[in-house]
């Protein structure tokens, strides 16, 4: 659902009144559209991707790759949790949590 607020909506949904009014006038006059429609009409549009977009795409691909997992370490921690021998260091966890406060 799209809502226009003080003309701030600049997307296709925000311009639907203008487009529909223009289309109504064209169809009422009986005139045909300027450009032919359908698959037989050749497309002359081109798309240029900026260097920033290419860089973002590359970074996105790097982020989406799966990080390596030390499965033996994960299994050892799981076993320690299961048998009750895993004892987390509360002071270390607290200091690291407080250290991340600077990120916000």
Domain assignment present for residue 33? The answer is no
Domain assignment present for residue 21? The answer is no
Domain assignment present for residue 19? The answer is no
**pLDDT tens, 40-93?**
667 788 888 899 999 999 988 888 787 788 999 999 999 999 999 999 999 999
Domain assignment present for residue 83? The answer is yes
- Distance, CA of 6 to CA of 11 (rounded, Å): 13
Domain assignment present for residue 37? The answer is no
Residue 82's CB is within 10 A of a number of other CB atoms, namely: 9
Domain assignment present for residue 101? The answer is yes
- Distance, CA of 53 to CA of 59 (rounded, Å): 10
Residue bearing tokens 């370490």: 73
pLDDT in the model for residue 23: 47
Angle at 52 between CA 49 and CA 13, to 5 degrees: 60
Give residue 99's domain range: 72-104
Report yes or no: 11 and 2 within 8 Å, Cβ to Cβ: yes
Domain assignment present for residue 79? The answer is yes
pLDDT, greater one: 78 or 21: 78
Count: domains in the chain? 1
**pLDDT tens, 30-45?**
445 555 555 666 778 8
């Amino acid at each position: 659902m799209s809502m226009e607020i003080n003309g701030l909506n600049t997307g296709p949904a925000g311009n639907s009144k203008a487009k529909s009014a223009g289309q109504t006038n064209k169809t009422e006059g009986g005139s045909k559209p300027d450009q032919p429609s359908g698959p037989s009409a050749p497309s002359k549009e081109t798309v240029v991707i900026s260097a920033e977009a290419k860089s973002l795409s590359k970074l996105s691909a790097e982020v989406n790759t799966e990080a390596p997992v030390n499965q033996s370490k994960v299994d050892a921690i799981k076993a320690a949790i299961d048998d009750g021998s895993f004892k987390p260091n509360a002071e270390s966890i607290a200091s690291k949590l407080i250290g991340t406060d600077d990120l916000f």
